[in-house]
Amino acid sequence: MKSIGIDLGGTNIKAGLVDKSGKILFKTSVPTESELGYKHVIEQIIKATTIVIEKDDDVVGIGIGAPGIVSAEEGTVKSPPNIPGWKKVNLGKILSDKFGKKVFVENDANAAAIGEYIFGAGKTTKSFIMVTLGTGVGGGIIYDGKLFRGETGGAGEIGHVTINYKGRKCNCGSYGCIETYVGNQRIVEKVKREIKSNPDSKVVELAGEKLETLSPKTLYDAAKLGDEYAIKAIEDIAVMLGAAFASTVNLLDISTIILGGGVSGFGNFLLTPLKKNLKERVLAPNRPRVKIKLSKLKNDAGIKGASSLAFYHS
Ligand SMILES: [Zn+2]
C-alpha cells in the first residue's frame, strides 16, 4: 500500500510517495511562490502532486498537511499565514476532482501527530500529545487511537498554553503563551538580550561578533563545547516546556509526550532537565507514568505526516 503526502510550507511545497512503513519511495519539491497569489499556490500544489502521481498512481489516497485553519470534514483550508489572498479554499475537492483519488486535508500539527501514530514514536502508544518545536509550537492529541479534534477541530493548541499570565503578548492576543518563550525567533531574541552579560560565551564565537548566524542550534553547538551560558539557556527552555507539558498532562491524563522539531534535537541538554521538571510538576499519580519520546519521523516529517492521513482513514 502506498499513499501521497503533500506538505504545504511557506517556502516550498514538498510531495512524496510513501509506503505503509513510512518509507519515502520518491519525493519532489516545488517553490510555493506565495507572492504570486493564492491561485498560483494552488497551481503549484497541483504541479507537485502531478510529478509524484506520474511516477506511480497506485495509491490509497492523497494527504495534505496545511497551516491555517483546516476543516478536515470539508477539506477546506482557511487563511494560512503568509499566503496573501487565500481566504477559504476547498483543497480536498480541487485535488480529488483533478486526480480522482481520495484526498484528506489536515492541519499540519495534527498531520504530524497522525504520522507519529501510524509510522513513528506513537506506533506502540494509544494516547499521546505530539509537540513540534519550530517557529511556533504546534500540538496534536491522539487519544485512544484517534485524533482528538475538540468541538470545532481546534484542539491541541499547546503553543498557547499560558506559562505566565502577566507575560509577553502573544500573536493570539493572550499573554505569556509558551510559544512566546520557546518559538525559534523568541529563543534568538532572548539570547541576544542575555549575551550582553555573557560576552565570553562560545555562542558569540560560533554566531559571529554581531550574532549574524545565531539560531537555536547555535545554543546546542555551544553547549556541546561545554559553554555554561548555553547549557543554562537550554535548561531555561526545558523548565518552561516542563511547566506547559505538566499542565497539559494533568488536564488530559495523557502521560506520553512526543517531541519533534528543531529544538527537540538538543539531546540531554534539553531532555534531562525537561523530564525532571515535568515529573516534579505533574500530579503525583501521573509521576511514574509520564514520559517524553522523540519524534521518529525527523527529515521529511511533513511529507510522512501528510501521507499517513490516507493510511489512517483507510
Ligand atoms: Zn498565544
Q: Are 199 and 101 found together in one domain?
A: no
Domain with 67, as residue range(s), is 2-106
pLDDT at 154: 87
For residue 150, the CA-to-ligand 1 centroid distance in Å is 18
DSSP E strands in 167-268: the ranges are 256-261
144: left (phi over 0), alpha (psi -120 to 50) or beta: left
pLDDT at 10: 87
Task: Give the global pTM.
Answer: 0.93
Residue 115 in domain: no
For residue 62, the CA-to-ligand 1 centroid distance in Å is 31
Single out the residue of 15, 61, 13, 49 nearest to residue 311, CA to CA.
Answer: 61
Instruction: Identify the sign of the CA torsion 260, 266, 177, 285.
Output: positive
CB-based contacts of 41, cutoff 8 Å, min separation 6: 8, 13, 32, 33, 34, 83, 86
pLDDT at 112: 95
pLDDT at 87: 94
Q: Are 240 and 287 found together in one domain?
A: yes
pLDDT at 153: 84
Q: How many domains does the chain have?
A: 2
Residue 114 in domain: no
Residue 241 in domain: yes
Length of the chain: 314
The mean predicted confidence, pLDDT, of the chain is 95
Residue 117 near residue 296, CB atoms below 8 Å: no
Residue 237 in domain: yes
Q: Are 168 and 286 found together in one domain?
A: yes
Residue 111 in domain: no
For residue 218, the CA-to-ligand 1 centroid distance in Å is 26
CB under 5 Å of ion ligand 1: residues: 160, 170, 172, 174, 177
Q: Are 63 and 137 found together in one domain?
A: no
Give the SS3 label for residue 140. strand
User: The domain spanning residue 93 has which CATH number?
Assistant: 3.30.420.40
Q: Are 126 and 168 found together in one domain?
A: yes
Question: Please, is 200 exposed, middle or buried when counting C-beta atoms within 10 Å of its C-beta (0-12, 13-18, 19+)?
Answer: exposed
Q: Are 151 and 289 found together in one domain?
A: yes
pLDDT at 149: 92
Give the SS3 label for residue 311. helix
For residue 51, the CA-to-ligand 1 centroid distance in Å is 38
H or E element in which residue 1 lies: none
Q: Are 130 and 100 found together in one domain?
A: no
**101: which 3 cell numbers?**
483519488
Query: Which residue has 491541541 as its cell numbers?
Result: 156
Q: Which residues pair with 7 in a beta bridge?
A: 14, 65
What Rg, from alpha-carbon coordinates, does the chain have? 20
Single out the residue of 129, 118, 121, 10 nearest to residue 63, CA to CA.
Answer: 118
The residue type at 8: L
Q: Are 160 and 284 found together in one domain?
A: yes
Q: What is the mean pLDDT of each run of 10 residues along the chain (314 residues)?
A: 95 96 97 95 98 97 94 93 91 98 95 96 96 93 96 91 96 95 96 95 94 95 98 98 97 97 95 98 95 92 96 94
Q: Are 7 and 77 found together in one domain?
A: yes
Give the SS3 label for residue 33. coil
The residue type at 230: A
